[in-house]
Structure 1
Amino acid sequence: MFDSEGIPCRHILFVLKGRGFSEIPSHYIVNRWTKLATSRPVFDCDGNVLEACSKFESERTLVSKAWAQLFKCMHMAGTNKEKLLLIYNEGCSIEQKMSKMKSDVVSRPLDEVEALIGVNVPEKIEVLPPKPSHTKGSGKRIKGGKEKAMEHAQRSLRQCQTCKKYATHDSRNCPTKSSS
C-alpha cells in the first residue's frame, strides 16, 4: 500500500511500534498527505508533474509565511523594549517602502473567491422558488383510544332489530346475536 498509495500500511506501523518509535520516520511521510502538499508540486514515478500549486495557493502560502515570521519576531522580542522598538521601526520602514510601490491590482474579496473556485461569479443570479410538491400517502392518521371513545360516545342511538334495544349497534353486530 505504501508503494501504490503512499500510505504506510498497518504492518509497517506495527513494526515501528514494536521497535519503540513514537513518530513515523520522515521517509515514510509522503508530501501529498501533508499540510504543505499544495506549496510544492506533486510528481509521478516518471517525474511528470501531477499537481502543480496554483497562483492562489502560492500567494496564500506566502501570506501565511509572512504572518508566521511576524509572530516569530514578536515572540522573540517578548517585552524587551529595545527589540520592540526595532520591530516597530522596521515595520514603519516597510510601510513607507510599500506606500511608494505602485499597486497595479486592487484585491477584492470576490477576486479571492473566483481564484479559489476557478470561475467568475455571474453579475445577475436568478434563483427561482422550487415547484410545490404533493405529498404521498392517503392522508389518514391513526387515532388514539381517547379519540375513538369520544367518537363512540357521540354516535346516535338506534333500535337494534335483534335485541329491540336502543343502542349504538344494529342487528348485524348485536352482542346477543348467536355466532352460528
Structure 2
Amino acid sequence: MNIHFLGCVGHAVILIGLVPLMISKGISYTDSVLCLTIIMVVSIPTRFITPILGDSVNPKTIMFLSFLGQGLFVIPWAFTTDKWMFYLVGILWAIPYGGEGTLFPIMNRKYYGFFRMDTTYGWQILAASFGMALGGFIPGLVFEVTGGYVYAIWISAFFSCLGAFVILTLETTKRVLRPSFENLG
C-alpha cells in the first residue's frame, strides 16, 4: 500500500470539501474560502521545516506525526458550527498537512542511500495523484448519499490515520536498505 496515496486521499477530502462543509454549517462563502486560504498560507513554512527536521531527527517519526496530526485534527470539524473553531482547527491542521508530502525524498534517501530517485519517487507521485483524485471525489459522493459533508471528514481522518499506522510498520531509517536487483529480470 502506498503511503503517499493514503495521505493524499486524507487531505484532498479536506481541500475539496472544507468550503462546502463550512457553507452547509451556515458560514459565508467568503469566510469559508478565507479559512482555506489561511490553511494554505500556514502550511507553507512547514513544507520547508519538516524535511529539515526529518533529516536531523528521524524522518519516520516526523512523517508518522504529520499523518497522525493530519488525521486527528480534522475530527473537530465534524462537530463545530463556529467560524472561529474552523479557523483554529484549520491552523492546527495546516502544520501536519504542509509537512506530510515533503518528507518522501528524505525517506527515500534514508532507506536507499544516494541513488537515482526518478522511478521510486515517480511511483510515489503516481499514487499521490490517484489519492488526490479519489479524495477530491469523496466529498461530492458523500454529499449525494447523505446530504452533508460530515462523513467525508471521518473518511479523511481514516485515510490519514491508516497512513500513520502503515508508517509504523516501515523498517527503521537508521540503516540503508539494499534492494536486490538480480531478481527483477
TM-score tier (shorter) = under 0.3
Q: Which has the higher contact order (CA 8 A, sep 6+)?
A: 2
Structure with larger Rg: 1
Q: TM-score, normalised by structure 2?
A: 0.23
More strand, by proportion: 1
More helix, by proportion: 2
Q: TM-score, normalised by structure 1?
A: 0.24
